[in-house]
């Protein structure tokens, strides 16, 4: 189980860094669905890892990060369905 938790943490970190690099290099839009999905998946991976290791400040931060991602994706899907 420890390997899975560590793998989720590393994958989460990689997804967040990849999204940040893509937006910073103008290869992806910061307000687009792809970026928001990367942020959501990355924050969930880091949140699981942080909680499993009792790193509560980091787990809390990533919970909020995930909630922001869910909210952004919800808004994007509402806009998409409205058009």
What 3-state class would DSSP assign to 54? coil
Q: Which of 29, 8, 43 is nearest to 76 (CA)?
A: 29
Q: Count the neighbouring beta carbons within 10 Å of the beta carbon of residue 19.
A: 21
pTM of the model as a whole:
0.90
Instruction: Return the pLDDT at 82.
Output: 62
Give me the residue spans of the domains in the chain. Answer: 2-82
Per DSSP (E only), the strands in 1-83 are none
Higher pLDDT, 83 or 8: 8
pLDDT in tens, 10-27: 999 999 999 999 999 999
């Amino acid at each position: 189980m420890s390997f899975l938790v560590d793998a989720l943490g590393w994958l989460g970190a990689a997804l967040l860094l990849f999204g940040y690099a893509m937006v910073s290099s103008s290869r992806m839009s910061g307000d687009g669905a792809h970026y928001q999905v990367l942020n959501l998946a990355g924050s969930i991976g880091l949140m699981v890892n942080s909680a499993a290791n009792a790193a509560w400040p980091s787990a809390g931060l990533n919970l909020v990060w995930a909630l922001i991602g869910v909210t952004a994706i919800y808004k994007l899907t509402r806009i998409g369905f409205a058009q």
